[in-house]
Structure 1
Amino acid sequence: MDILPGGRTPGLRNKKKMAYIEISTEPQKDRNSKKGESPIILFKKKNELALHLDNLKIILSNSNATVIRCRGSMGYLCCFCEQQYSDPGDLKQHNLHHEDIFESNYIKNQTMPTFLIKLDITNLCCNICSKRIIELDDLLHHLKDEHEIQYNMGLNSHIVPFRFGSDKLRCVVCKHIFNNFKVLLEHMNLHFRNYICEICDSGFVNKRISQMHGYRHKIGVFNCSYCGKEFNNKIKQRAHERAVHICLNKRSRCGYCGDRFSDYTKKHEHEVREHGAKPVVVTCYACEKIFDNQRSLSVHIKTFHLMER
């Protein structure tokens, strides 16, 4: 069989998308081959998800970057356990006590349609030579050029970097400031346009987010499964069902005791009063006025700054 550059073989067909095929470094004998015959080299196939995980392993093995599972009501969640930390730096120290992240269910349960890794690159540096590096892409180039560590190039990255070096949540790409991690995460779809909406040209990190967005463009008649109320798209129908019928108008859940509240502001007031959580302080990016909740900030921006524009 002819072998093309990069170990690829011509005319290969498979139902799954194969990003490349490489020859195993340790050839194995075919079970049907007879004694004395030359061993048949077996091929190791890697799909797209495996290639992304290979790149993630290279980053985590050779730098101080840390994976963050998500941002909960009490703080940033560990990928191994249910611990949450309001300071991402504390989570980074906590992760040192865990074993290999690739043995965690968080990684083992990953699928390509939903694959999105949130990576803390605060004070990023190379573990090999201790060189301080600013951007994630620069780290990969550094590992390749200086330490001859190869990574899988040509992939649309699903690894989204964040930096928590100050009290303000700032996008690592465009430097815009956000008061909420969830809003910042949604904003990163602008920079990681792996999947593009054919209708409005919006970009998204993974296929699942893109599909959920697509429901907004499917206009029709969608009735609530509980009360029959009519909506013009499925997103509004699902939001109504969850808010009114499933959560009984109490969508915000306390991260400490599980009590539910009708909105985020009431939930946070409860957490501060009953559980000693830190009060929220959000700052207007235009005039630096301070508010104690996101709703007040949004009203302020719409009233004073959008009207001015």
Structure 2
Amino acid sequence: MVCVYCGESYDDPAEFRAHNDQEHKEFKAGIALYHLRDLDSDVKVDCTDLQCRLCFNRYENLDHLAKHLSTDHEININFNYDLGVLPFKINKDSYLCFLCKGKFPNMRFLSRHTNTHFQKYTCEFCGNSYASSTALNGHIRNTCSRKSQLPFCRKCKKPFNSVKERMNHLMASKICCQHVCNVCNDRFPTWNIKQNHMKERHDKPGKSYPCPDCSAVFHRKDKFRKHFVLTHTDSHYSCGQCDEKFASELNLKKHLLLHSGDKRFICDVCDKSFLRKSGLTQHKWIHSEVKKHSCNLCDKHFNQRVCWKAHMRSRHPELCDF
């Protein structure tokens, strides 16, 4: 946590609050709000110890504090508009939503979640909602897939017929890659490729994600989030037909296909059917003469990635990090 007045940083929220109480007793709006990019952005406020700066009375929520300031101190507040505040309750290694008491593994996930309570701007193309007009415009300009129906390069805006074509473009045009190595300034199309480069070329340790609620440590953010949601929260999605639990609604829907048995995707070569389109796409490589997965150690080639993985695990387990 960084102080907006003097730039001091703190790992412990209690120390951060004590610093502000002791060193910055007077609120300076021009400095405190200088970082806001646009006028319709809500202000992130630590409401762990919510009190009036004039009489030091404490309050449970922002609405009560605002009414107190208006009634008891005659401060002019227009209640026809939102307060424009994103409230946070922050304690060391504990990230709870101030509004719904939801539990999150770190400040980044908590911040993203808190924004969902204040989404006022909706994309007319795909229906996604955002907390500010700037965030909405950035979404439409850079990431909205429904607007153009085609993937495109976020740097040069060139459209492509497939995600694979866009990836080939990024590999060929380094200037369009957004992920930059801070050691040699080389550019990479994805964050994971950059992390592998940092580890292999510059001997930089990969980022780790320790769980704040137990001793587990993860080297991948998605595995860390899945662990936290399934193990330490009630925010998971449960299957009504078995005991499986999932970190997202999408994964639950994929799982439910196993219970339905509806194999709608049929191979036009051998008539084998599949539950998911992705399964059919992967299967079709069996009928292809192109073997795009290769083992660089024993010069074997494979139609499917799953076969290559099985080979690597059985023959070269010391090289497997998947």
Shorter-chain TM-score range: 0.5 to 0.7
Equivalent-residue separation in structure 2 for 1:242 and 1:231 (angstroms): 21
Structure 2 length-normalised TM: 0.52
Amino acid at match of 2:65: L
TM-fit CA distance, 1:121:
0.9
Amino acid at match of 1:262: Q
Residue 225 of structure 2: aligned partner: 298
Residue 11 of structure 1: aligned partner: none
User: Could you say if the C-alpha distance between residues 271 and 154 of structure 1 is closer, same or farther in structure 2, counting changes exceeding 3 Å?
Assistant: farther
* Residue 144 of structure 1, aligned match among 70, 88, 109: 70
Residue 195 of structure 2: aligned partner: 262
Preserved CA contact (<8 Å) 2:12 2:91: no
**Higher RCO, Cα 8 Å, sep 6+:** 1
Amino acid at match of 1:298: R
**CA offsets, 1:213-232, max 9 Å, x none?**
22413223534768x89476
User: Could you say if the C-alpha distance between residues 298 and 111 of structure 1 is closer, same or farther in structure 2, counting changes exceeding 3 Å?
Assistant: closer
Equivalent-residue separation in structure 1 for 2:64 and 2:83 (angstroms): 14
State the SS of the aligned residue for 1:160: strand
* Residue 111 of structure 2, aligned match among 166, 185, 207: 185
User: Could you say if the C-alpha distance between residues 113 and 193 of structure 1 is closer, same or farther in structure 2, counting changes exceeding 3 Å?
Assistant: same
TM-fit CA distance, 1:148:
2.7
Structure 1 vs Structure 2 CA RMSD:
4.5
Specify every segment of 5 or more residues in structure 1 that has no aligned partner in the other structure, as ranges.
Answer: 1-75, 253-260, 273-278
Equivalent-residue separation in structure 2 for 1:250 and 1:241 (angstroms): 5
Preserved CA contact (<8 Å) 1:223 1:231: no
**CA offsets, 1:44-73, max 9 Å, x none?**
xxxxxxxxxxxxxxxxxxxxxxxxxxxxxx
**CA offsets, 1:53-100, max 9 Å, x none?**
xxxxxxxxxxxxxxxxxxxxxxx1121233221112222233342465
Equivalent-residue separation in structure 2 for 1:126 and 1:296 (angstroms): 42
Preserved CA contact (<8 Å) 2:46 2:90: yes
TM-fit CA distance, 1:139:
0.8
* Residue 179 of structure 2, aligned match among 204, 228, 243: 243
Provide the identity percentage: 23
Equivalent-residue separation in structure 2 for 1:247 and 1:77 (angstroms): 29
Equivalent-residue separation in structure 2 for 1:131 and 1:100 (angstroms): 17
Structure 1 length-normalised TM: 0.54
Preserved CA contact (<8 Å) 1:123 1:132: yes
TM-fit CA distance, 1:154:
1.9
- Correspondence 1:81 to 2:6: yes
State the SS of the aligned residue for 1:144: helix
Preserved CA contact (<8 Å) 2:116 2:130: yes
Amino acid at match of 2:118: F
Residue 17 of structure 1: aligned partner: none
